[in-house]
Structures are given as C-alpha cells and as structure tokens.
Amino acid sequence: MVDRLTNQVEKEERDQQILRAVIEHGPIGIVRLSEETGIPEHKVRYSLRMLEDDELIEPTPDGAVPADDVDERLGDRNAGLDGIIDRLEELEDLF
C-alpha cells in the first residue's frame, strides 16, 4: 500500500513541476518542458495528458498553456489535498 501511495505522490509531484513550467513559460512544448524540468519527454507527455484531463492546461498549436481558471482549480485541488492529508493522518493514528 505504501509503495502505491509513494508512486502516486511522485507522479503528482511531477505533474506539479510540469504545471509550474507551463504557467511560467507557456505556451511551451514537450521538448522544452523536458529541458526546463529535467523530466524525460515520455513522462512530460503523460503529465500533460493528466493535466489536460484535470482541465488545468490547454493544448495550443504553440504548446501547452494554463487554463483560464487555473488559479481557482488549483485552490480546489489544494483543498482536496488537505483532505487527503487529514485522512492519512487519521490512518496513521490507527496504528
């Protein structure tokens, strides 16, 4: 269980790195994102797909750009993460 959670947290961390680079440098393509973050292109591509599914970025012919309402969506996401942290702490207290 811990290994799965660790892997998921690592994926989320990578997604956040990619999102930060899109916000700072967008429009930005896969190759430049890989160069900026040091993340391999195939993982950048996957993260972009996940961020697009979460409606945090939008693809354009010039590269990825942040969604118009990215700040609001990030606020919602952060609130959700706070809830997960609380639940994990509760789980930890059981042992």
Per-residue pLDDT of 64-78, as tens digits, reads: 999 999 999 888 888
In terms of residue numbers, what domain contains 42?
Answer: 2-93
Number of domains composing the chain: 1
Helix axes 41-53, 2-25, angle to 10 degrees: 90
pTM value? 0.84
Please state, rounded to an integer, the average pLDDT across all residues of the chain.
Answer: 92
Domain CATH for 79: 1.10.10.10
Ramachandran sector of residue 55 (left: φ over 0; alpha: ψ -120 to 50; beta: rest): left
Per-residue pLDDT of 14-44, as tens digits, reads: 999 999 999 999 999 999 999 999 999 999 9
